[in-house]
Amino acid sequence: MDEQLLVQLKETLIVMKKNLQKRIKERSEKVKRNFKGDVGDSSLYVYNRETLYSITERERNKLQEVNDALYRIKMNTYGICDRCGAEISKERLILKPTARFCARCKKEINGDSK
């Protein structure tokens, strides 16, 4: 992989990581806030809290993907398909810097092969 592209993708991943960490922290703080209100407010609070938990969990999963990609960069395995060992196209990595599979393998994993 071209060194300049690798540096760009690493910077992108670091920015993604910082943004995700910030959003997770903000949402976690919202969930932790004490609630005082009537029964109607209470059910709305529970609904909102569950929604925030769900969003936060998705963001934690995304953060793990980013951390995994940064680790692969460190280990010099970034841009190599975890399934077939082929190089992942630069176009795919630019669109999805956390990609672990080449486009062909990803299609097969998703059951899109024909």
Residues 37-96: pLDDT tens digits?
A: 555 566 666 767 777 778 888 999 999 999 999 999 999 999 999 999 999 999 999 999
Q: Do 69 and 99 fall within a single domain?
A: no
Of the candidates 111, 77, 112, 113, the residue with the CA atom closest to the CA atom of residue 99 = 77
Q: Tell me the average pLDDT across 19-28.
A: 89
pLDDT of residue 4: 97
Residue with tokens 């929604």: 51
Kindly indicate the confidence band of residue 31, based on its pLDDT and cuts at 50, 70 and 90: low
Q: At what angle are helices 39-74 and 3-32 packed, to 10 degrees?
A: 160
- The percentage of residues in the chain with a pLDDT greater than 90, rounded to a whole number, is 65
Shared domain check, 63 and 36? yes
- pTM of the predicted model, to two decimals? 0.81
Q: Which domain holds residue 70?
A: 3-78
Number of domains in the chain: 2
pLDDT value at 24 more than 70: yes
| 30/52 same-domain check | yes
